[in-house]
Amino acid sequence: MDPRQVAQVDVQWPDARRIIRSLYPPIDLFEDIADPADWPLLIAAEQKTNPRLMVNLGALDLVPEARRVGGPGASYLMSPFTHVSPDRPSRFSAGNYGVLYVADRFDTALAETMHHHARFMARTSEPAGWTSQFREIVLEVAVRAHDLRDEVVYAPALDRVDYAPAQALAAQLIAADAEGVLYPSRRADGGFCLGLFYPDLAANPRQGRHLDYHWNGRRVDFYREPATGAVYRVDEVEGRM
């Protein structure tokens, strides 16, 4: 599809949500108050005493210098772009570049991450029980996105299983200087998601709730908020979870 045929829309979500695994710690360089323009010098100096620095940072060169962000919470914005791999493809990337996925609300982010967590647990034949810990990230987003909400026109890119058409379209859009895509959630009815192609399109990331997911051997059927001890049942939705 010619990317010029895809309509664009201004999206502003002051309370966008993202849920990530808690095992990923903040990256000191990204959280530092130093200007991102100074990072190459800081990296060169610190590499003399910290040979694992580049493992922690990931592939920084994948993010154009002008689009890098630093300061408190910056790890949540930068890491999806510097820690990429063909072993971890996503809807809009084959793993050769990063995409920052955010949802319009908590329920959407919850459904999306539960689906992907369940796929991982099934592939590795994990036993039933309370499993990984997650954290909610609340952030602000302002982007002129390419609009893929028409589920008929963009059906191939919105396929629930085959991501190849979406990856091909995203590669074309990025080559045409697109900033992101807006699309209907495939896991939460009525929810919407954004795939952002650069970290500076989101701002003010702050941590929200901590979450635990319960895996019953087939799907995630409960989640728990450790701070309160509250446990919530997740209803199975045909064709979604």
Q: Provide the residue ranges of all domains of the chain, joining segments of one domain with +.
A: 3-233
Indicate the pTM of the whole model. Answer: 0.87
DSSP secondary-structure letter at 119? H
Rounded Cα–Cα distance for residues 82 and 105 (Å): 25
Rounded Cα–Cα distance for residues 51 and 84 (Å): 20
Check pLDDT > 50 for residue 206. yes
Instruction: Tell me how crowded residue 116 is: count the other CB atoms within 10 A of its CB.
Output: 14
Per residue in 136-152, pLDDT tens?
Answer: 999 999 999 999 999 99
Rounded Cα–Cα distance for residues 101 and 128 (Å): 28
Rounded Cα–Cα distance for residues 7 and 5 (Å): 6
Write down the pLDDT at residue 240. Answer: 43
Per residue in 62-112, pLDDT tens?
Answer: 899 899 998 888 889 999 999 898 999 999 999 999 999 999 999 999 999
What element of type H or E holds 170?
Answer: helix 164-175
How far is residue 23 from each of residues 40, 48, 133, 179, 194, measured CA to CA in Å? 27, 27, 7, 29, 24
Give the SS3 label for residue 241.
coil
Residue with tokens 């323009």: 37
Torsion of CA 165, 169, 174, 178, to 10 degrees: -130
Rounded Cα–Cα distance for residues 22 and 133 (Å): 6
Percent of the chain with pLDDT over 90: 70
CB proximity list for 156: less than 8 A, separation 6 or greater? 162, 165, 166
Check pLDDT > 50 for residue 17. yes
Write down the pLDDT at residue 230. Answer: 96
**Longest Cα separation, the chain:** 55
